[in-house]
Structure 1
């Protein structure tokens, strides 16, 4: 193999490795963003359910998480606030998770 061909092969390998790494980074960032969005929407929906005295706000949170491509890992109601943790599949990377809390502000509480 000539020096020029080896050089082209080395550059091609390096470029391919860099593109693959950036692709994985992009996959992880997108999954984290999806998890954060699903967590926010789930906590807001659950807090809204608490505000109208729904008996099971965490079921609402789980439904919203599922509709947003996530899985509800944890849901906890603390007085008027709801805290949720969701997870989104980020294959081939580990799953991305996010937490969110929603509820009325101090001046809006009954």
Structure 2
């Protein structure tokens, strides 16, 4: 093999590694964004259900998370606030997680 061919192969291998790394980074960022969105929507759904005296607001959070391709991993009621945590699969990376809190605004408190 000539020196020129070896250099081309080395550059091709390096470029491939960079593209693969950027692809993994993009996958992770997309999964994190999806997790944050799912967590926000799940906490809002649960807070809305709690405000309407729904007997199981965390069930609403789980359903909303599922509809956003996420899995509810935690749901806690703290007073009139709802705290949720969700995870989104990010294969081949570890799952992305996000937390969110929702509740009545200051003007809505008694």
Local SS of the residue matching 1:39: helix
Per-residue deviation, 1:107: 2.5
Gaps of 5+ in 1: none
Equivalences for 1:1-110 in 2 at 5 Å?
A: 1-110=1-110
Q: Distance in 1 between matches of 2:10 and 2:18?
A: 12
Per-residue deviation, 1:33: 0.2
RMSD over equivalenced CA pairs, Å: 0.6
More strand by share: 2
Q: How many residues align?
A: 110
Per-residue deviation, 1:109: 1.3
Q: Distance in 1 between matches of 2:71 and 2:21?
A: 27
Gaps of 5+ in 2: none
Q: Distance in 1 between matches of 2:54 and 2:9?
A: 63
Local SS of the residue matching 2:53: coil
Q: Normalising by the residue count of structure 2, what TM-score does the alignment of the two structures yield?
A: 0.98
Per-residue deviation, 1:106: 2.4
Query: Hey, which bits of structure 1, 4+ residues long, moved more than 3 A?
Result: none
